[in-house]
């Protein structure tokens, strides 16, 4: 068994609530885009995701958590506005913290792979 330079430990990370995935990299990215552009529709477009899919992901988080992660005002010129709540921002921070630790875990252990 020898160190193989082009080997890598890799993985995925998410938070479950009552056995369902509630927060993961895709949802956090969606929240960040909504925060930046103030629109679920634009955020979905930026991610190459349908508006319906984005709306369902937001609605799933909003319905499962005790407070919403995104609030939106429908209609008006140029469509509705959406904003990420303090709860949503705290969840982004929390997941990023876990993900940074996970990235360190993967990098540290990648050095130990012997194939």
For binding to its own copies (CB under 8 A), which residues are involved? Answer: 1-2, 4, 6-19, 21-22, 65-66, 87, 90-91, 94, 98, 101-102, 105, 109, 112-115
Contact residues for 66 (Cβ-Cβ < 8 A; gap 6+): none
Q: How far, in Å, are 8, 67, 69 from residue 57 at the CA level?
A: 31, 15, 11
Contact residues for 76 (Cβ-Cβ < 8 A; gap 6+): none
Q: Quote the least distance from Cβ 114 to its own copies, whole Å.
A: 7
**Tokens coding 38:** 């103030």
Compare residues 50 and 96 and give the one whose CB is closer to its own copies: 96
Compare residues 8 and 53 and give the one whose CB is closer to its own copies: 8
Compare residues 80 and 90 and give the one whose CB is closer to its own copies: 90
Q: Quote the least distance from Cβ 93 to its own copies, whole Å.
A: 10
Q: Quote the least distance from Cβ 13 to its own copies, whole Å.
A: 4
Query: How deeply is 101 buried, as exposed, middle or buried, from its count of CB atoms within 10 A (0-12, 13-18, 19+)?
Result: exposed
């Amino acid at each position: 068994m020898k160190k193989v330079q082009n080997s890598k430990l890799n993985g995925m990370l998410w938070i479950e609530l009552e056995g369902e995935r509630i927060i993961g990299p895709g949802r956090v990215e969606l929240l960040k885009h909504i925060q930046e552009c103030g629109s679920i529709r634009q955020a979905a477009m930026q991610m190459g995701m349908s508006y319906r899919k984005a709306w369902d992901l937001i609605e799933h988080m909003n319905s499962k958590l005790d407070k919403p992660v995104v609030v939106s005002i429908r209609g008006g010129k140029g469509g509705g506005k959406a904003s990420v709540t303090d709860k949503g921002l705290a969840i982004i921070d929390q997941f990023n913290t876990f993900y940074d630790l996970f990235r360190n875990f993967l990098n540290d252990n990648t050095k130990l792979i012997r194939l």
